[in-house]
């Protein structure tokens, strides 16, 4: 179990980064949250869901919708995507128990699905693609943009990204001798990016880091912040 300081940024981005063991910490952040997820990438629906490990557990129409979503968003990267696991949610009974969610028009997906993208040509060893859809196959959430990232030929090579990140970090006075890298979805700007964390104090499990996010299809800094990580036994 890990304790993370919760940032005042997108809630979705926060939970994605908690899954990776990362937490963004702006100067005004105060809260501390404990995360103990029951399975990688899954949202807890209070017992109103079943876990699946095959797309065949869903109706044919939904399977086609999911396939179309992946092909449209990831284009020629879609052949490098495989299904990992997911949930089928009992939305009706969830709303019965959580009437406030229904009143506030909180959208609960019928299908909450997790895919893995692996494409070493563009430097992606393993990235989680999350798709949430309703009973009709309409997208409620996806952590991959609708357009702009469907052609892997437009992605900058990882060596280009890394070289650029180190140049920028050096100019900012960051410690470039020790850093960590991850491939993420920046939901606020709707971009796929590489995140570089340059260690300031501590070690890779407990410490402070200067972080840069760089657009994966262009050499642009799209975000900059400080990260704090703290692990407890």
Q: What is the pTM of this model?
A: 0.78
* Domain closes at, from 153, 173, 191: 153
Which candidate, 217, 173, 168, 175, places its Cα nearest to that of 194?
A: 217
Taking a C-beta distance cutoff of 8 angstroms, is the pair 75, 151 a contact? yes
| Tokens encoding 130 | 């999350």
Q: How many domains does the chain have?
A: 2
Q: pLDDT-based confidence at 137, cuts 50/70/90?
A: very high
Characterise 2 by phi-psi region: left (phi > 0), alpha (psi -120 to 50), beta (else). Answer: beta
Residue 42 lies in a domain: no
Whether residues 64 and 148 fall in one domain: yes
Domain coverage including residue 95? 49-153
Residue 43 lies in a domain: no
Over residues 115-129, the pLDDT tens digits come to: 999 999 999 999 999
127-to-53, 84, 138, 182 alpha-carbon distances in Å: 18, 11, 23, 9
Least confident of 90-104, 110-124, 152-166: 90-104
């Amino acid at each position: 179990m890990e304790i993370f300081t919760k940032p005042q940024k997108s809630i979705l981005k926060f939970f994605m980064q908690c899954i990776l063991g990362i937490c963004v910490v702006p100067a005004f952040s105060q809260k501390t949250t404990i995360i103990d997820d029951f399975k990688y990438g899954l949202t807890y629906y209070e017992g109103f869901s079943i876990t699946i490990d095959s797309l065949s557990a869903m109706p044919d129409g939904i399977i086609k919708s999911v396939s179309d979503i992946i092909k449209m968003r990831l284009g020629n990267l879609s052949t490098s995507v495989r299904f990992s696991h997911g949930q089928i949610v009992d939305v009706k009974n969830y709303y019965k128990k959580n009437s406030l969610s229904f009143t506030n028009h909180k959208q609960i997906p019928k299908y909450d699905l997790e895919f893995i993208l692996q494409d070493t040509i563009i430097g992606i060893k393993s990235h989680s693609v999350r798709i949430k859809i309703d009973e009709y196959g309409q997208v409620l959430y996806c952590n991959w943009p609708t357009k702009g990232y469907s052609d892997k030929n437009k992605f900058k090579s990882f060596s280009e990204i890394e070289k650029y990140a180190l140049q920028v970090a050096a100019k900012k006075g960051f410690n470039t001798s020790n850093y960590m890298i991850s491939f993420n979805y920046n939901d606020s700007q709707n971009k796929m990016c590489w995140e570089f964390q340059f260690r300031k104090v501590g070690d890779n499990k407990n410490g402070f880091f200067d972080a840069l996010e760089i657009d994966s299809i262009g050499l642009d800094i799209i975000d900059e912040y400080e990260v704090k990580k703290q692990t407890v036994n």
